[in-house]
Every structure is written in C-alpha cells, then in structure tokens.
Amino acid sequence: MLKIVLKIVVSAALIGWLLHGMDSAALAEGLSQASFGAMFVAFAILLALSAVQAWRWVIVARALEINLPFSAAWGIVLVGLFFNQTLPSSIGGDAARVWRLKRAGVRVGLSIRTVVLDRLVALLALLVIVLAGLPTLLQLIGDQTLRWAVPLFLLAGFGAFAGLLLLESQFLRGVLGRFRSEQIVALGRGAHAVFLRPVCIGPALSISIVIHGVVCGSVFLIARDIGMTVTFWQMLVLFPPVLLLSMVPFSVAGWGIREGAMMTALGLVGVSPAAAFTVSVLYGIVMVAVGLAGGMVWLFSGRQRPTIGESIEPPGRDLP
C-alpha cells in the first residue's frame, strides 16, 4: 500500500512541478484545439494495435510450446491494458496476463516467462528503433552529458539482452553460482527459444517495430491536430525514448514521467513546453480510453477461463 501511495504522490508531484510556471493560456488553448475526430482515430488505432500485440504474444507463446489461441490472447491483452491504466505500475497489466494464463491451467512459472519474454521482445524493438534514430537524435541534442548518456543507455540495454542469452554459458554459471535459481535457468532457456530462433524472433520483432511505429504515428496525429509543426520522422526519433523512460515503474501508468520526457524531447525541435505537455496528456487520455475498453472485456469475461492448450514437454526439459 505504501508503494502505491508513493507512486501516486510521485505522479502528482511531477505533474504539479511541470505545470508550475507553464503558460496556462497556451495549455488551455492546446487542449481546446484537440478535435474529437483525431482523438477517436488515435483511439481506434491504438485499440486495433492490441490485436497485433496479441498476435506477437501468440508467436512467443508457441516458441515456449504453449498453444495460445489468438482470440484468448487478444482478450487477455485487452484486460492487461485495463490494469496497466488502473494500477499504479506498468507491470500491473503483465500481472493480470499471468493471472489469466494461470486460470487457464498454464503453470505459474511458464506463465511468467511467457509474459516477460513477450515484454522483452517489445523492449528490444524499442531499443532497435532508438538505435536507428540515434544519429538524428544526437544531432538534435546540444547538451554534451546527454549526448553521452543516450548511447550508454542503449549499450546497457543491449548488454542486458546479451547477458540474458548467456545465462547458460560456463562463465555466467560460475559467476552466478548458487544464485542461479530454477526460474532463472528456465528464463534463460526460454530466451534461447524466443530470441535465437529466426522463425520466432523474426516475425515477433518485426511486429513490435510496426507497433511502436504506429504508436508514434498516433502521437503525430494528435500533435498535428493541435497545430504542432513537427514531422513524422521527428516524432519517430523522439517519442520512443519517451516511451522507454515512461516504463520506469516510479509513477502511475507513467504519468508525470512521460510528460516531463515529452517536454524535453520535443523541446529539441522547438516545441513549447505547453504544447509538448498537451500532446502527452492527450495521448494519456487516449490510452485511458483504450484501457477502459479492456475493462469492459474484463467485466464481461472476468469469470470465464480462457481455453489454452499447454504442450506436454519431455521430463526435465522445463521447470515449473
């Protein structure tokens, strides 16, 4: 409970701090310029992306030998989106997905690995997009410290993926020693099945890149709707780092952190703080609406158990 209260306080404090000294007239004007049509289109796009996300999850689950039907996956993803917006942590939706898989009869450990590896594929795609836009991003950044921080952050991210894939190496076995729990070993094996199989990582990573690109397109649509003179390429370069920072579980659904990161990122191309704040808030509102749609799915299917077939694996191959 204390952590929940702290995250709510962090979000409120950050938003209050960002609003302090901001041009309230410009903020009100930006919010008033948002049209229902553009907001609805952004909502429809982001809601449709949940189906694409479910498709990626099906691919990852099959790599781990779970027969996850698309219809069941889509319903669970929508429920997860609802909890992402209502719980004070970005992992709330992941916990909901694990819970739904467990209710369907999938082992807890395997459920967790399936959701974690699906999330990691999405994270890898985000790192790839940031890397692709890095030359442009470095040209826009004037602060020398920040110019070093971004590449180092990317290096750390890719290094973490390398470490995950090397969990079974002789070197890491010796380093981890007694800290190598059964679940860590199983996660390493699952990572091999997902990230080292072209038949899995190829389509899963491609789908994730498309998802992030379309999300950037939705934010671009909102920005243009309120009169912001930003290009799609600029949004594609600047918004993925904002998404990465908003995943840090220090606030409620990224609120406050996302707005601050958006103001910093769009400020690099001359966007005013009020306009950047407005775009972030409008995007957050659209995401809340998508979450509420997922809440309707949860309301009407919460007591139903998804039908999921888990493959039988050879004894000793996998862990609980």
Mean pLDDT by 10 residues, the chain (320 residues): 68 79 78 90 95 95 91 90 71 81 84 92 94 91 83 91 77 60 78 92 96 95 92 93 81 80 91 91 92 85 59 42
pLDDT at 206: 96
Distance CA 299, CA 304 (A): 10
pLDDT of residue 43: 96
> Is residue 16 one of the residues assigned to a domain?
no
Tell me, yes or no, whether 318 lies in a domain. no
**In-domain check, residue 102:** yes
Q: What is the per-residue pLDDT for 276?
A: 92
This prediction has a pTM of: 0.85
Residue 308 within a domain: no
Position 1 in a domain: no
41 within a domain of the structure (yes/no): yes
Give a yes or no: residue 19 inside a domain: no
| 248 occurs within a structural domain | yes
Alpha carbons within 13 angstroms on the beta-carbon side of residue 284 total 22
Query: Structural domain of residue 249, as residue ranges?
Result: 25-303
Total of domains in the chain:
1
